[in-house]
Chain A
Amino acid sequence: MLRGLYAAASGMLARGIWQDITANNLANLTTPGFKRDFPIFKTFADMLASRITDIVPDRANLKSPGLMRLNYRERVPIGTLGMGTDFEGIATDLSQGPLVETGNPLDLAIDGDGFFVVQTPAGERYTRSGSFSLDNLGHLVTQEGFMVMGENGPIALPIHGPQAIKGIEVTETGAILVSGKPVAQLRIVRFQNPIDIVKEGNGLFRLAQGTAVAQVQPQPAGFSLMVKQGFLEMSNSDPITELVSMIECLRAYETNQKAIAFFDQTLEKAVNEVGRG
């Protein structure tokens, strides 16, 4: 059938997924620590097009004078022909989201590059969503109850005795002080390459296979990473960008549909009018 029909259909399918991504970005406009996704399109490998009329008869292989075989090796190329759109992949935009002051001492935000480490039943996971709480044993946990990891394992704050919680202070370097005394150091990791981590949902990221984690110790001055207490990092998806890509996506979808309708008309003509004989 007409190549253009398939090419246009591939355009519609890819735009369908793009709309799914945009809708997810919009649904997570107010999700703390959410990082927006964006599609990377590519064209299918181009193929060489050649003129049919330029195919020359393969005289060397002719068995009988009456038979003419076409020699495909001598086809004359006239250029390349695209075969439509495909997904290269979906990338996550890890840029910084805006920091919003919440006044909650257990809300932590990372200003700069890095992830908090949390321990889940499935293993270590990474998050930028620093909306933490304490469990009944004084462990620093996520809203799911997963423990937030420090340099020496899960972070447990003293809850009884003389060092009982008077006030929790988290410094910009990630040290956690209770009643003015250091009790733990947040573990913050950075990845060599942003594509090394994969979204898992529930605000968590996990390692892609065969990936190295760079351990980062935030430094007080002149360093790109700062922990901010009483702040939450909001989603980095913004409605304007997403709306624009939604319009772009819708119109491209429509154009591709128009192209299919046009090919359909052409086919109709070919089948019903030319074929009428």
Chain B
Amino acid sequence: MMRALWSAATGMLAKQLNMDVIANNLANLNTAGFKKSRVDFQDLMYQNLRAPGTTVAEGAKVPSGIQVGLGTRPAAIQRIFSQGDFVQTENPLDLVIEGDGFFQVLMPDGSIAYTRDGAFKMDSEGRIVTSDGMPIEPELVIPPDAVNITIGSDGTVSVMLAGQEQPNEIGKIEIAKFVNPAGLTSIGRNLFRSTAASGQPMVGTPGLEGFGTISQGFLEMSNVKVVEEMVNMIIAQRAYEVNSKAIQTSDDMLAIANNLKR
């Protein structure tokens, strides 16, 4: 059968995957700390009908071969860790990391997950927790009589206790960064886990050795840009369409070939 049919079909499949990724990006337009994904495509293998450089008569060499490509395939879905927009919330437990780094979250199974979503809350015991109630690592407990929480750009958490004039330092927020954040795996709920591809987490103090600094009272929104996604959606839709045209045309050609013998 015609290679064209299958090549065009790979094109349609690839664009479907592209649409899935775009739809997820758009669905998370307003998700704090969300990082958009992108599908990278590659051409599939080539079928060599005649190799270039083949010697033909009298020592002459064929200048160009006959290589027919067999379509496309998704090579990777890459997460883009560019900075999202900062939104001022004036909530003292809303934090953003300006620059590289992730907040560390203690999962119920004892492992550590990583997030850029800094919408933290306080639980009944005064611990700083995520919206899902998972405490940040290392654990920070706000005393019940604290009236004012201040978090410095280096992650130092200070509280003013009722009736005191000097702020008390109660702990430090540590952040982690990865050699290859694109290698992190998403586990949903704005959380990531480290993998062999991401490398081991390097834990450090915000503002030092390439770690980002912390700002209080802000939230990092998703880094999805509507216009960019819309343009990608148009490209994906039209590419899908044009590939379906290629399938139709190949089908027409097969019908023509079938009509050779009446």
* A residues lining the B interface (CB < 8 Å): 12, 15-17, 19-32, 34, 37, 40, 87-91, 102-104, 106, 129, 131, 133-138, 143-144, 157, 159-160, 162, 164-167, 179, 195, 198-203, 208-210, 239, 242-243, 246-247, 249-250, 253-254, 257, 260-261, 264
Chain B neighbourhood of A239, CB < 8 A? 238-239, 242
A251: shortest Cβ distance to chain B, in Å?
10
Chain A neighbourhood of B50, CB < 8 A? 87, 89
A159: shortest Cβ distance to chain B, in Å?
5
Within 8 A of A (CB), among B207-262: 209-210, 235-236, 238-239, 242-243, 245-246, 249-250, 252-253, 256-257, 259-260, 262
**Top-9 shortest CB links A-B:** A27-B11, A24-B69, A89-B64, A23-B4, A136-B199, A166-B210, A201-B45, A134-B180, A143-B76
Q: Provided the pairs A30-B18, A136-B183, A137-B199 are in contact, do residues A87 and B257 lie with their beta carbons within 8 angstroms?
A: no
B40 on interface, CB distance cutoff 8 Å: yes
Q: Is the interface of B mostly helix, strand, loop or mixed?
A: mixed
B67 to A198, Cβ gap below 8 A? yes
B15 on interface, CB distance cutoff 8 Å: yes
Q: Provided the pairs A37-B69, A261-B262 are in contact, do residues A28 and B253 lie with their beta carbons within 8 angstroms?
A: no
A133 to B46, Cβ gap below 8 A? no
- Report B102-123 CB contacts with A as 1/0, cut-off 8 Å: 0000000000000000000000
A26 to B243, Cβ gap below 8 A? yes
B38 to A102, Cβ gap below 8 A? yes
A29 to B67, Cβ gap below 8 A? no
Within 8 A of A (CB), among B194-208: 196-200, 202
Distance between Cα atoms of A129 and B73 in the complex (Å) = 14
Q: Provided the pairs A136-B196, A164-B209, A250-B252 are in contact, do residues A90 and B67 lie with their beta carbons within 8 angstroms?
A: yes
Chain B neighbourhood of A201, CB < 8 A? 42-46, 69-70
Distance between Cα atoms of A198 and B69 in the complex (Å) = 12
B8 on interface, CB distance cutoff 8 Å: yes
A91 to B43, Cβ gap below 8 A? no
B258: shortest Cβ distance to chain A, in Å?
10
* B residues lining the A interface (CB < 8 Å): 2-5, 7-8, 10-11, 14-15, 18, 38, 40-46, 49-53, 62-72, 75-76, 78, 80, 82, 100, 179-180, 182-183, 196-200, 202, 209-210, 235-236, 238-239, 242-243, 245-246, 249-250, 252-253, 256-257, 259-260, 262
Q: Pick from B70, B180, B249: contact of A135, CB below 8 A.
A: B180
B75 to A199, Cβ gap below 8 A? no
Q: Provided the pairs A89-B63, A89-B64 are in contact, do residues A133 and B182 lie with their beta carbons within 8 angstroms?
A: yes
Q: Provided the pairs A26-B246, A133-B78 are in contact, do residues A17 and B68 lie with their beta carbons within 8 angstroms?
A: yes
B42 to A31, Cβ gap below 8 A? yes
A253 to B63, Cβ gap below 8 A? no
Can you spell out 7 A-B residue pairs with CB atoms less than 8 angstroms apart? Answer: A21-B68, A23-B5, A24-B43, A24-B69, A28-B72, A29-B235, A254-B256
Chain B neighbourhood of A31, CB < 8 A? 41-43, 72
A27 to B72, Cβ gap below 8 A? yes
Chain A neighbourhood of B180, CB < 8 A? 133-136
A107: shortest Cβ distance to chain B, in Å?
9
Q: Pick from B69, B75, B76, B80: contact of A102, CB below 8 A.
A: B80
A19 to B249, Cβ gap below 8 A? yes
A98: shortest Cβ distance to chain B, in Å?
11
A17 to B66, Cβ gap below 8 A? yes
A210 to B238, Cβ gap below 8 A? no
Closest Cβ neighbor of A134 among chain B residues: B180
Chain A neighbourhood of B262, CB < 8 A? 261, 264
Q: Pick from A23, A87, A143: contact of B42, CB below 8 A.
A: A143
Chain B neighbourhood of A28, CB < 8 A? 11, 41, 43, 69, 71-72
Distance between Cα atoms of A246 and B72 in the complex (Å) = 18
B146: shortest Cβ distance to chain A, in Å?
34
Q: Provided the pairs A21-B68, A23-B4, A261-B260 are in contact, do residues A199 and B252 lie with their beta carbons within 8 angstroms?
A: no
Chain B neighbourhood of A135, CB < 8 A? 179-180, 183, 197, 199
Chain A neighbourhood of B7, CB < 8 A? 20, 23-24, 26-27
Q: Pick from A24, A137, A249: contact of B71, CB below 8 A.
A: A24
Closest Cβ neighbor of B48 among chain A residues: A198
Q: Provided the pairs A28-B11, A103-B80, A246-B246 are in contact, do residues A20 and B209 lie with their beta carbons within 8 angstroms?
A: no
A26 to B11, Cβ gap below 8 A? yes
Q: Pick from B3, B75, B259: contact of A202, CB below 8 A.
A: B75
B103: shortest Cβ distance to chain A, in Å?
19
Distance between Cα atoms of A103 and B183 in the complex (Å) = 17
Q: Pick from A27, A30, A137, A253: contact of B253, CB below 8 A.
A: A253
Chain B neighbourhood of A27, CB < 8 A? 7-8, 10-11, 14, 69, 71-72, 243, 246
Chain B neighbourhood of A157, CB < 8 A? 179
